[in-house]
């Protein structure tokens, strides 16, 4: 005994538990059909006849079986989310199917009604004869002859003389040129021809021809024994033939032809019942009904597999569940695509992005360190973290955000506003460095988007998956790659991008709408309201106001002072010497701390500092000058270390920072302009520099 079928919550079977009869009566199909069909039938002499037919309850071909067919087919299909809207549209599709069938029937009715005027009566006459009614044909033969001869003689004589005569004097010719012309062009040509010819011809043709004689003899009574039959017939006019054939082709009625009406209703409005499959012949996606989909799955797997129910666009479902539904559909599409399809790599990339997003949005809460843990990491006191020198104003902003975040978490209150910081300052001040340090201390992924020279918005928002070579935007890449919905995303030198690209950067950073941010490649919401956005800017005046408004926290990155710069150099030097510890122990029998003590002399470290706002030059003197020289001059040849590292030639780079718009930067004899940004005129921005390094730069 089979178990009764479970009725879906949102289905026609639940709304009309008594079956089709209840469906027909409650929706009052009869009234609507009589009104609509009467309107669509063209006005003809049979209008009154049609009115009588409709009044008596007729609808051409019986409407009740037709509508019952569609009710039975779709009564267990699910829909979302409103009963009245769906039932109204389902009823409209049923009436549409009946009306279209009525149109076709009317074509035939009208054609047969007028068929008499297209018929033409004709009489066919048949004449029957036999070959015995004719006598044989008599032919007399003849002959044709041709006689004659032809003679032809021909002689031809021709004599030709040619000579060149100078057109200029001999004096001119002796020079070889005259007025820029070559010597040959200075000679004129004279030519004489004589000819003589003689031709004779003689021809004679003689033809004798005896004409052929053809005679036919007919019998005197030629019509004797001839049978003649007359028969009446009718011929259809050519126009009617075409019309009949056209109507026949057009009016082949198949109820399955109207399935797309109902399938489209489900997929376009509710997205639940119709399922996508990949056509094995074309490699393209097409939609089939749920019943057909289950049949295909049964044939391929041998087991009845029901696809997961749900609509990824239904906002009443939790976001993570919607993401899983989309992932399942994308995975099935990828499996259906043949390996030769050029769409398959793009679907594979979308699937990879979705897998990263699933892990990113799976945790209920993001884990951020406490203020105490954050400070410990910034100071380099925790294993694996490097000490951050300076940037206290930026670090304090992050600490305030962490306090607000953990307060909201403890007291179950709304979280603080999204953290977005704009770092302002000259190149080389360490804006990118402090961004990296903050991301590392927070335990979040870091994604840097280089905006310098970028032109297209697709860098941020991605490209359409239908385009060959399509890929996601950088924001979605960051979330998926690091599997972190609260990763740190840096727009590096944002003011140097084209306007279109800068405008695109304002979309994921808009706090009023970034919860529903949609990347063009994925074409599905990926919230960015928990990401930490940082933008680095060299020229604030080039940043559009609508982009600057997104970053409410603007921080001026100040140059490091003298002591801070020495501390940065020490940290970099320790990090690099630690990497060479094995070589120091093998060659000199010392660890890296002992070697560091030899180099940790203020006079030596002062030489690494450059006269610029940036600390980058000092770092490069350690990384690109001191360490390579130490390896090439001492470690590689295994020579003893120098006893006077201060005076050793390390070939440090010495450079002065100048303002390009200041006359002093171009001509040392000119004075500095007012408020110029030359380093030597702004030494007060680097505390302790003048006291330890002096006030003038000397190469």
In this predicted model, what pLDDT tens digit does every residue of 82-136 receive, in sequence order? 677 778 888 888 888 877 777 776 666 666 666 656 555 556 666 555 544 444 4
pLDDT tens digits along 421-464: 999 988 888 888 899 999 999 999 999 999 988 888 999 999 99
Identify the structural domains of the chain with CATH numbers, from first to last: 1-125+236-273 (no CATH), 371-556 (3.40.50.300), 562-693 (no CATH)
Q: Indicate the pTM of the whole model.
A: 0.56
The mean pLDDT of 572-588, rounded to a whole number, is: 91
271-280, 288-297, 509-518: least confident range: 271-280
Identify the pLDDT of residue 308: 47
pLDDT digits (tens, 9 = 90+) for 310-349: 678 878 888 998 899 899 888 888 888 888 888 889 999 9
For residues 291 and 287, what is the distance between their CA atoms, to the nearest angstrom?
12
pLDDT at residue 401 tops 70:
yes
Inform me whether the pLDDT recorded for 685 exceeds 70.
yes
- Give residues with Cβ within 8 angstroms of 302, minimum separation 6: none
Distance CA 337, CA 578 (A): 53
Average pLDDT over residues 610-635: 90
For residue 297, the cross-strand partners are: none
**pLDDT given for residue 91 in this prediction:** 83
Residue range 129-181, pLDDT digits in tens = 554 444 444 444 444 444 444 455 555 555 555 555 454 444 444 444 444 44
For the chain, give the percent of residues with pLDDT over 90.
22
Angle, alpha carbons 424-429-434 (nearest 5°): 80
- The burial of 647, by beta-carbon neighbours within 10 Å (0-12 exposed, 13-18 middle, 19 or more buried), is given as exposed
Q: 439 or 239, which is more confident?
A: 439
Whole-number Å distance between alpha carbons of 679 and 696:
10
Average pLDDT, the chain: 75
> Can you give the pLDDT at residue 164?
53
* Structural contact between residues 529 and 515, judged by C-beta atoms closer than 8 angstroms: yes
Query: Of the ranges 283-292, 309-318, 408-417, 594-603, which one carries the lowest mean pLDDT score?
Result: 283-292
| Confidence (pLDDT) at 121 | 59
- As a dihedral over the C-alpha atoms of residue 546, residue 547, residue 548, residue 552, rounded to 10 degrees, the angle is 100
What is the rounded radius of gyration, in angstroms, for the C-alpha atoms of the chain? 49
Looking at residue 261, its pLDDT comes to 67
Longest dimension (CA), the chain: 150
DSSP H or E run through 239: helix 238-250
Q: What is the DSSP string of 315-365?
A: TTS-HHHHHHHHHHHHHHHHHHS-TT-TTHHHHHHHHHHHHHHHHHH-SSS
Closest to 388 in 3D by CA, of 573, 623, 568: 568
Distance CA 273, CA 309 (A): 9
How many Cβ atoms from other residues are within 10 Å of residue 350's Cβ? 24
Residue 475 has pLDDT above 90, yes or no: yes
Return the axis-axis angle of helices 319-336 and 344-361, rounded to nearest 10°. 160
In this predicted structure, the answer to whether residue 268 has a pLDDT above a threshold of 60 is no
Half-sphere exposure of 209 (CA within 13 A, CB side): 6
Residue 14 phi, psi dihedral angles, 5° rounding:
-75, -40
Asked whether 406 and 362 are in contact (CB, 8 A), the reply is no
SS3 of 97, please?
A: helix
User: How far apart are the C-alpha atoms of 346 and 452, rounded to whole Å?
Assistant: 28
Phi, psi for residue 16 in degrees, rounded to 5: -130, 75
Residue 209: pLDDT above 50?
A: no
Q: Comparing 685 with 284, which gets the higher pLDDT?
A: 685
For residues 625 and 161, the model is more confident at 625
150 Ramachandran zone, left/alpha/beta (phi>0; psi -120 to 50): beta
The two counts, helices (H) then strands (E), for the chain are 27, 17
Number of other residues whose CB lies within 10 A of the CB of residue 561: 17
- Tell me how far CA of residue 331 lies from CA of 89, 209, 307, 354, in angstroms: 32, 95, 12, 10
What CA–CA distances, in Å, run from 438 to 99, 442, 508? Answer: 69, 6, 21
pLDDT above 60: residue 695: yes
The more confidently predicted of residues 209 and 226 is 226
Which whole number is the average pLDDT over 30-55? 57
Q: Report d(CA 527, CA 362) in Å as an integer.
A: 13
What is the CB-side half-sphere exposure of residue 692 using CA atoms within 13 A? 18
What are the residues whose beta carbons fall under 8 Å from the beta carbon of 172, sequence distance 6 or more? 178, 186
Q: How many residues does the chain have?
A: 699
Q: Is the pLDDT of residue 478 over 90?
A: yes
* Residue 284 vs residue 420, higher pLDDT: 420
- The model's confidence at residue 668, banded by pLDDT at 50, 70 and 90, is low
The pair phi, psi for residue 687, each rounded to 5°, is -55, 135
> Which residue, among 486, 271, 480, has the nearest Cα to 359 in the 3D structure?
480
End-to-end CA distance of the chain: 101
Q: Identify the DSSP state of 654.
A: -
**H helical segments located in 482-552:** 499-505, 545-548
Q: How far apart are CA 370 and CA 294, in angstroms?
A: 52
């Amino acid at each position: 005994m089979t178990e009764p079928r479970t009725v879906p919550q949102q289905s026609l079977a639940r709304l009309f538990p008594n079956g089709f009869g209840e469906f027909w009566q409650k929706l009052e199909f009869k009234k609507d059909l009589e009104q609509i069909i009467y309107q669509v039938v063209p006005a003809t002499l049979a209008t009154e006849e049609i009115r009588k037919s409709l009044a008596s309850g007729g609808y051409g071909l019986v409407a009740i079986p037709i509508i019952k067919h569609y009710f039975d087919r779709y009564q267990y299909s699910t829909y979302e989310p409103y009963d009245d809207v769906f039932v109204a549209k389902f009823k409209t599709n049923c009436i549409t199917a009946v009306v279209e069938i009525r149109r076709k029937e009317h074509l035939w009715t009208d054609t047969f009604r007028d068929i008499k005027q297209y018929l033409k009566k004709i009489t066919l006459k048949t004449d029957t004869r036999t070959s015995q009614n004719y006598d044989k044909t008599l032919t007399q033969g003849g002959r044709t002859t041709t006689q004659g001869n032809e003679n032809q003689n021909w002689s031809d004589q021709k004599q030709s003389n040619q000579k060149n005569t100078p057109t200029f004097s001999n004096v001119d010719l002796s020079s070889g040129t005259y007025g820029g012309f070559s010597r040959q062009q200075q000679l004129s040509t004279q030519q004489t021809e004589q000819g003589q010819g003689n031709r004779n011809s003689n021809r004679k043709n003689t033809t004798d021809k005896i004409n052929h004689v053809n005679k036919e003899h007919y019998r005197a009574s030629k019509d004797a024994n001839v049978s003649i039959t007359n028969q009446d017939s009718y011929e259809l006019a050519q126009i009617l033939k075409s019309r009949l054939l056209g109507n026949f082709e057009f009016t082949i009625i198949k109820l399955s032809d109207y399935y797309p009406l109902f399938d489209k209703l489900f997929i376009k409005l509710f997205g639940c019942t119709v399922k996508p499959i990949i056509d094995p012949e074309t490699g393209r996606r097409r939609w089939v009904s749920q019943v057909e989909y289950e049949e295909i799955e049964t044939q391929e797997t041998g087991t009845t597999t029901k696809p997961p129910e749900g609509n990824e666009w239904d906002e009443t479902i939790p976001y993570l569940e919607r993401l899983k539904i989309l992932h399942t559909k994308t995975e099935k599409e990828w499996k259906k695509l043949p390996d030769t399809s050029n769409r398959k790599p793009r679907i594979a990339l979308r699937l990879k992005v979705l897998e990263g997003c699933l892990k990113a949005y799976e945790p209920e809460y993001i884990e951020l360190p406490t203020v105490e843990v954050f400070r410990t990491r910034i100071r380099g006191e925790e294993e694996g973290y490097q000490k951050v020198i300076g940037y206290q104003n930026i670090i304090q902003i992050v600490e305030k955000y962490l306090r607000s975040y953990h307060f909201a978490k403890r007291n179950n209150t709304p979280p603080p506003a999204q953290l977005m910081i704009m770092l302002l300052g000259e190149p080389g001040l360490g804006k990118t460095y402090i961004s990296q340090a903050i991301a590392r201390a927070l335990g979040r992924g870091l994604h840097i988007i280089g905006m310098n020279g970028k032109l297209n918005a697709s860098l941020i928002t991605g490209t359409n998956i239908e385009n060959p070579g399509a890929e996601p935007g950088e924001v979605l890449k960051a979330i998926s790659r690091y599997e972190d919905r609260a990763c740190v995303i840096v727009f590096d030198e944002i003011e140097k991008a084209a306007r279109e690209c800068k405008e695109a950067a304002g979309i994921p950073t808009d706090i009023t709408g970034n919860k529903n941010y949609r990347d063009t490649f994925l074409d599905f919401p990926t919230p960015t309201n928990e990401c930490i956005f940082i933008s680095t800017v060299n020229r604030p005046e080039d940043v559009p106001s609508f982009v600057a408004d997104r970053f409410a926290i603007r921080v001026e990155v100040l140059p490091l002072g003298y002591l801070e710069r020495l501390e940065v150099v020490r940290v970099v030097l320790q990090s690099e010497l630690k990497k060479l510890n094995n070589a120091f122990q093998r060659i000199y029998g010392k660890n890296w701390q002992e070697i560091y003590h030899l180099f940790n002399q203020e006079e030596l470290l002062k030489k690494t500092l450059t006269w610029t706002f940036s600390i980058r030059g000092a770092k490069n003197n350690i990384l690109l000058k001191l360490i390579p020289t130490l390896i090439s001059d001492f470690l590689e040849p295994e020579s003893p270390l120098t006893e006077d590292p201060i005076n050793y030639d390390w070939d440090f780079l010495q450079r002065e920072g100048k303002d390009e718009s200041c006359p002093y930067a171009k001509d040392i004899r000119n004075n500095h302009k007012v408020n110029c940004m030359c380093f030597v005129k702004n030494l007060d921005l680097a505390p302790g520099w003048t006291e330890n390094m002096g006030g003038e730069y000397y190469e």
